[in-house]
Chains A and B, each alone.
Chain A
Amino acid sequence: MTLDLDMMMMAIFLPLFGAIAAFILPRAAALVGLVTLALTTGAVIALGLEVRQSGAVVLPLGGWGAPLGIDLRADGLSVAMLALTSAVGFLVSIAALDALKGADQARERQYFWPLWLLLLTGINGVYLSTDIFNLYVMIEVIALAAVGLTVLSATRAAVQAGLEYMYASILGALLFLMGVGFIYLQIGRLDFTGLMGAEPTAALIAAVALMFVGLALKTALFPLHLWLPAAHANATAPASALLSGLVVKAALYIVLRLAQYMPFPSETLLTLVGLMGAGAVIWGGIQALRAERLKLLVAWSTVAQIGLIFVAFARAGEVGLTESWKAAALLILAHGIAKAAMFLAAGRIKDEIGHDVIRDLDRAPVRPTLAQFTFALAAISLIGLPPSLGFIGKWSLMEGALVAGYWHWVAVTMLGTLLSVAYFSRVLSAFLRFDRIRTPVAEHQGWALADAAPLTLALTAIGLGLMAAPILRFIEIGYPFGAAL
């Protein structure tokens, strides 16, 4: 037997070993973390080149192969998600070096790295799995690490929010497990290939619906979003960026995969999914308008944006699903990058000004201009102004809905856009007002090297819009599933 260093194995096991090493060596945790991330990113790049050259790659673990064994598989969409995770993860890590440098943050520094690397293990595992039970295990790994990151700051509010998150996560996982079990009992297979040929009976639809409800809880789709705002708003800034930018995407990705590989249950269910998304867009928008603190506003905007991704999903009905998943994937990528940038920027603003009460932002004598600029750039991508990636995502959402004649989804998207302009303006106008304080404000106050990472992310979110065509071509590699085998 030859020792074959497969890139997919590396993408999962490097972070796992890194997490263990960072836990054992708390003094060198940051170094271990950065080295691990660099190596993992290298593996993802190598995998991406391989996929671009020769299409989707499959690795039967231990040489067993599905249905008996477990397969890992990487296609365009997997690699795109892995790349999102690596890129956002790397920049957030760099920002974390600065955000957690305080003398009273030794504990946070010690535990941030092992938890984050464990989280990376789970997320990469989700993107490479082709087996619904494997997915269950991976989302549990993610959940445990994510709860740990939520309570990292150990304040009362954070622990409270973390506990609520834990309840929601356990319940979501159990519903998912129940669905997985029912599917196995009916068709005797757990791998995607087996699911593809399955006859959509009423019982199978019920099983898929159970899984969907579980995933909706994990990704905080309205009306199951109740845990998210508190959890994301009370975590420390780098943790919030990871939770909002990356963690919720894993469950979204599973929904996307299920829709790709299974005969989608029915038009009614898909419309219901779209309606839940529409509810999230409107309710999340209204709550963001009412939020008093900056981080809470950003967290509510996550609820709204996740809703929009589900609207993209349902935009053209059942027949349109073969195209709609691409619009959803674009929005996922756009939101991942922009939201991570925004949470980091919000954290920087809070650090510099000392609070994040929106009403008093324009009264602060300190102007963290670069962080504010970053926040504005991220807002541009989240609102969906051209040429950002968010714009391309929304554009393809509306285009597909128009072609299919589903005007109501266009209306929802417009309303969501309007709401996001409104709630981000609350913050941006405070950044631009200088007349509230009597003391002179220094123009370039509050710049720091720490702004580099979020600024890079925000610029990427805007710049990637120009690359939308290659990205779209890339995520189609290996789709549909059967073609590459």
Chain B
Amino acid sequence: MTPDLIYGLTGMAVFGIGLVGALCAQDRLRRVLALKLCSVGAAFVLVVGAWREPPGAPDPVPHALVITGIVVMVSATAVALALIRRLQTLEAEDDA
């Protein structure tokens, strides 16, 4: 087993854990965190794929994809969290 295979499989496993969480978790915040885990896994796989044996330089394109992915994910998480807060406020109003 080469290191990049181990890292790659780890990335896939992290993505898988996130996927299960996103589909099965009941709690709203947990689902957001599970989706974050998914994105970390996906980024991990891409970064590992860009890696080359030491004399060769890593491929910069997947790094660029990962950075864009991170930016997108930050804003998506922000929206999801804002929605959760709003929903909690609305529920508290209804219960009161």
Chain B hits for A452, CB < 8 A: none
B60 → chain A closest CB, angstroms: 12
Interface residues of B in 47-96 (CB under 8 A from A): 49, 61-62, 65, 68-69, 72-73, 75-76, 79-80, 83-84, 86-87, 90-91, 94
Q: Is A45 an interface residue (CB 8 A)?
A: no
Interface residues of B (CB under 8 A from A): 15, 19, 22, 28, 31-32, 35, 38-39, 42, 45-46, 49, 61-62, 65, 68-69, 72-73, 75-76, 79-80, 83-84, 86-87, 90-91, 94
Size band of the A side of the interface?
20 to 34
Q: Is A34 an interface residue (CB 8 A)?
A: no
A-B contact pairs, 12 of them (CB 8 A): A140-B76, A144-B76, A147-B79, A159-B86, A159-B87, A163-B87, A167-B31, A167-B80, A170-B73, A171-B38, A181-B42, A184-B61
Closest to A167 in B: B31
Contact check, A166 vs B65: say whether CB atoms are below 8 A apart.
no
Report the bound CA distance from A478 to B69 in whole Å: 32
Chain A hits for B15, CB < 8 A: 174, 178
Closest to A147 in B: B79
Chain A hits for B75, CB < 8 A: 144
B81 → chain A closest CB, angstroms: 10
Contact with B along A290-329 (1 / 0, CB 8 A): 0000000000000000000000000000000000000000
Contact check, A159 vs B90: say whether CB atoms are below 8 A apart.
yes
Chain A hits for B42, CB < 8 A: 174, 177-178, 181
Chain B hits for A170, CB < 8 A: 35, 73, 76, 80
B7 → chain A closest CB, angstroms: 13
B41 → chain A closest CB, angstroms: 8
Chain A hits for B38, CB < 8 A: 171, 174
Chain A hits for B91, CB < 8 A: 156
Contact among A166, A171, A177 with B69 in the assembled complex (CB-CB below 8 Å): A177
Besides A159-B83, A170-B80, A184-B65, 15 more A-B contacts (Cβ < 8 Å) are: A147-B79, A156-B87, A156-B91, A156-B94, A169-B76, A170-B35, A170-B73, A171-B22, A174-B35, A174-B42, A178-B15, A178-B45, A181-B42, A181-B46, A181-B49
Contact check, B62 vs A166: say whether CB atoms are below 8 A apart.
no
Main secondary structure of the interface of B (DSSP, over half): helix
Main secondary structure of the interface of A (DSSP, over half): helix
Closest to A169 in B: B76
Report the bound CA distance from A163 to B73 in whole Å: 15
Q: Is A173 an interface residue (CB 8 A)?
A: yes
B40 → chain A closest CB, angstroms: 10
Report the bound CA distance from A169 to B73 in whole Å: 11
Q: Is A185 an interface residue (CB 8 A)?
A: yes
Contact among A166, A171, A180 with B83 in the assembled complex (CB-CB below 8 Å): A166
Report the bound CA distance from A273 to B84 in whole Å: 34
Interface residues of A in 57-114 (CB under 8 A from B): none
Most buried by A among B45, B79, B86: B79
Interface residues of A in 105-162 (CB under 8 A from B): 133, 137, 140, 143-144, 147-148, 151, 154-156, 159-160, 162
Contact check, A140 vs B79: say whether CB atoms are below 8 A apart.
no
Closest to A171 in B: B22
Contact check, B87 vs A137: say whether CB atoms are below 8 A apart.
no
B62 → chain A closest CB, angstroms: 6
Report the bound CA distance from A155 to B90 in whole Å: 8
Interface residues of A in 168-200 (CB under 8 A from B): 169-171, 173-174, 177-178, 180-182, 184-185, 190
- What 5 pairs between A and B have smallest CB-CB spacing? A185-B49, A181-B46, A156-B90, A163-B83, A140-B72
Report the bound CA distance from A162 to B87 in whole Å: 10
A243 → chain B closest CB, angstroms: 16
Report the bound CA distance from A410 to B23 in whole Å: 34
Chain A hits for B62, CB < 8 A: 181, 184-185
B66 → chain A closest CB, angstroms: 8
